[in-house]
Structure 1
């Protein structure tokens, strides 16, 4: 067994202590949490993108037969699916289980509440939206048209403002619950590109998309508008830009959700008609 000299061990311990101090005093210090978390979100997207590419190359036969741009979209959708799972779980926790935004536990304006964890979650999401928007613009329009650019811009602005100001985080997390539909949408693309458009899995996927979209991108937004109306006096305590974001962003997203929902219904009806 090889033993290191005492001086080397002491030097390693010194560097380790300095690294811990750096992480504690900078990376995890409250003023820097948003910025380091955004960077972490971007890095995580890159890691997941590369892992999706690596795993798909060795274990998914259909992947090797795709074109270059199709492989890029395949990897991109793997990245967006993992973000959707992460942010949906965190959003459900804050909206339905956490006491942070509960009127029964806390006093004061619900529109002005935040915590280090809520800021961290929003920052990671900002990192994802920036990374994904960058890819959409770089490969435009192969990864999505103007509706995707508008959606990502609105989302990034709203989430970033809520993250930095600490305002309206409850409504931001409510809107982010709608990301629960993303894995199903991505799975539909995977099934289609893999030649499984006539499979039972494709039909089941279409039904799941319809149900999740109805709940998370239509009915949920009615609840958001109801909650905003019931707490509008507290919304007015926010800065003017925050008030505008709380009113305009959910409304704009809701309109786009309805437009996409009409296409989902039309596609599902077409799939069902082919099976009769």
Structure 2
């Protein structure tokens, strides 16, 4: 067995042994740090929602004050969502390109940077769940509740057992498509026509980014999954972790393909209608100017 593989298997066994002791001994300093980051993340995103977003939105977009109370709640929620997506997305790119430990051992590589990023996302998800339940009439959505709970279940294995850091980090890259999706809603609620240049530019960007971070990366993701399937490192992952990893990945990518189809069709229709409106009217002799 390759030395890095043996090291990964040994590290995986150590992680499992340490995780079994969590309920019997005090948390180690790094686990305390991760917990602190999660709590700080939760409080920060609550502060961004209740204080920063309303204050900033009133000054950047005059149309914000004309929104209904429900629209303002969703506006602030999407503002926070955009900030979170950019923060963790940039962190993901750095980890993907510069963290050699998880690239060499995607199952049991040193999860330090990934744990920090996942802890930030965990705080955000819990914060968003609280807001969804509290403002259910404005932003309540059963799909998002299921999505958030499923993500938290999967992140438990990353934070609690230190497993699958490469795959957890790779999944978070999908957050890069969130800002464009939110911006589409901002334009719609502010009354921008679908054929307006800002809306069209955002629509094209949304389709391109969504394809790049959710569809084009599938071969890379599943090739790494296939490469570790059946190895000793793979069998150290408990059944719950495998279900959270494999089943959730397949289900999520089925939805991603469906969403990509809808986004591509919508983008094509808008661009086609805009091109037809710009086409010059034919003359009586059938020629155009």
TM-score, normalization: structure 1?
0.83
> How do 1:85-164 residues align onto structure 2 when only pairs under 5 Å count?
85-103=86-104, 109-140=105-136, 142-143=138-139, 145-164=141-160
Q: Deviations over 1:108-138 (max 9, x none)?
A: x531123433222111111111111222233
**Structure 2 residues not aligned, in runs of 5+:** 1-25, 277-289
Shift in CA distance, 146/205, structure 1 to aligned 2, threshold 3 Å: same
Query: In the aligned structure 2, how far is the partner of 1:218 from the partner of 1:32?
Result: 36
Q: Could you say which residue in structure 1 is the equivalent of 2:238? A: 239
Equivalent residues of 2:132, 2:140 under 8 A apart: yes
Structure 1 residue 27: Cα displacement: 11
Higher mean displacement: 137-146 or 264-273: 137-146
Equivalent residues of 1:221, 1:250 under 8 A apart: no
Q: Which has the higher contact order (CA 8 A, sep 6+)?
A: 2
Q: Could you say which residue in structure 2 is the equivalent of 1:209? A: 206
Q: Could you say which residue in structure 2 is the equivalent of 1:254? A: 253
Pairing partner for 1:165 from 161, 176, 184: 161
> How do 1:191-210 residues align onto structure 2 when only pairs under 5 Å count?
191-197=187-193, 198-210=195-207
Query: In the aligned structure 1, how far is the partner of 2:222 from the partner of 2:43?
Result: 34
Query: In the aligned structure 1, how far is the partner of 2:257 from the partner of 2:142?
Result: 16
Equivalent residues of 1:33, 1:119 under 8 A apart: no
The RMSD of aligned alpha carbons is 2.0
TM-score, normalization: structure 2?
0.79
Higher mean displacement: 162-171 or 191-200: 191-200
**Structure 1 residues not aligned, in runs of 5+:** 1-25, 104-108
Pair 1:224 & 2:221 matched: yes
Query: In the aligned structure 2, how far is the partner of 1:96 from the partner of 1:144?
Result: 37
How many pairs are equivalent?
A: 246
Q: Could you say which residue in structure 1 is the equivalent of 2:17? A: none
Q: Could you say which residue in structure 2 is the equivalent of 1:274? A: 273
Equivalent residues of 2:42, 2:124 under 8 A apart: yes
Equivalent residues of 2:82, 2:179 under 8 A apart: yes
Equivalent residues of 1:112, 1:238 under 8 A apart: no
Q: Segments of 4+ in structure 1 off by > 6 A? A: none
Shift in CA distance, 28/164, structure 1 to aligned 2, threshold 3 Å: closer
Q: Deviations over 1:44-72 (max 9, x none)?
A: 10122221111112332100000001011
Equivalent residues of 1:95, 1:173 under 8 A apart: yes
